[in-house]
């Protein structure tokens, strides 16, 4: 089959699309509802997975999938190696974009904002809640740096396991988190005949959220 022939229509499993009266006054409240529905939907794999887009000092974009670990009216939180490509690009340009692609539900959420580094205390609290194997992996990996083989990576992992075989694993100095403070959030619902429903929340000068419908 040719790629241009692959398509499907939306709105097959719902009686109507997304309407203005359906939208909560706060984008965080609306996101909470959609996130709960995504978690409850058995056919939606990795509902907390989000694509993080960053831009380097030359204006070249890059993307990767990270996991949302917390959200509230202050923003959306994820954790990473502070020496990684994403962290270096955020240091040069804090403007980022998050994308949740809940395609089995015919939904997308796009978040525009600035990434702010979390405090060491916040990063430590989350790091200590992770499984020990994940803690050890954080110590092992010099994220985004070249390595000659997986064998060498696993050897490093075993060395780290031996190093921290007793007691708690401390927070690495090169590991932390970011909070994406949004300036705009779009909610996208698939519609029939490619006439999708899109609503954009924008944070205005009066520090309030406005909502407007966007054309598909």
Q: What is the mean pLDDT of the chain?
A: 93
Same domain membership, residue 40 and residue 140? no
Do residues 57 and 156 share a domain?
A: no
Instruction: List the one residue out of 181, 27, 183, 182 whose CA is nearest residue 118.
Output: 181
Predicted confidence (pLDDT) at residue 14 exceeds the cutoff of 60: no
Count the domains in the chain: 2
> 107 φ, ψ to 5°?
-135, 150
Question: Is residue 34 domain-shared with residue 58, that is, in the same domain?
Answer: yes
Same domain, 54 and 86: yes
Residue 189: burial class (beta carbons within 10 Å; 0-12, 13-18, 19+)? buried
197 in the same domain as 113 = yes
Domain residues for the domain of 164 are: 132-170
For residues 44 and 102, the answer to whether their CB atoms sit within 8 Å is yes
Block residue for tokens 């992770």: 130
The verdict on 72 and 98 lying in the same domain is yes
Torsion of CA 130, 67, 56, 201, to 10 degrees: -130
Asked whether residue 84 falls in the same domain as residue 118, the answer is: yes
pLDDT exceeding 90 applies to what percent of the chain?
82
**Do residues 7 and 29 both lie within one domain?**
yes
CATH number assigned to the domain comprising residue 67: 2.30.110.10
- Residue ranges of E strands in the chain: 49-55, 61-67, 70-72, 75-81, 95-102, 107-117, 175-189, 197-203, 209-214
Q: Which two tokens stand for residue 20?
A: 């203005």
Global pTM value: 0.92
> Burial code of 105-131, b = ≥16 C-beta within 10 A, e = fewer?
bbbbbbbbbbbebbeeebbeebbeeee
Could you confirm whether 194 is annotated as catalytic?
yes
pLDDT digits (tens, 9 = 90+) for 111-143: 999 999 999 999 999 999 999 999 999 999 999
Task: Write down the catalytic residue from 150, 194, 198, 213.
Answer: 194
User: In the predicted model, is pLDDT for residue 13 greater than 60?
Assistant: no
């Amino acid at each position: 089959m040719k790629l241009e022939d692959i398509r499907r229509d939306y709105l097959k499993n719902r009686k109507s699309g997304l309407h203005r009266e359906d939208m909560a006054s706060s984008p965080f409240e609306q996101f909470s509802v959609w996130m709960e529905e995504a978690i409850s939907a058995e056919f939606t794999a990795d509902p907390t997975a989000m694509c993080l887009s960053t831009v380097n000092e030359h204006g070249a974009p890059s993307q990767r999938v990270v996991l949302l670990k917390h959200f509230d009216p202050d923003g959306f939180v994820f954790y990473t190696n502070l020496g990684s490509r994403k962290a270096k690009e955020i240091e040069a340009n804090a403007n980022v974009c998050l994308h949740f692609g809940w395609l089995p539900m015919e939904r997308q959420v796009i978040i525009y904002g600035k990434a702010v580094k979390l405090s060491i205390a916040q990063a430590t609290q989350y790091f200590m809640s992770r499984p020990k194997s994940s803690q050890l992996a954080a110590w092992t990996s010099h994220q985004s740096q070249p390595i000659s083989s997986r064998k060498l990576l696993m050897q490093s992992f075993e060395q780290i396991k031996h190093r921290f075989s007793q007691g708690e694993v401390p927070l690495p100095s090169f590991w932390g988190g970011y909070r994406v403070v949004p300036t705009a959030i779009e909610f996208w619902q698939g519609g029939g005949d490619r006439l999708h429903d899109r609503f954009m929340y924008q944070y205005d000068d009066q520090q309030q959220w406005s909502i407007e419908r966007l054309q598909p």
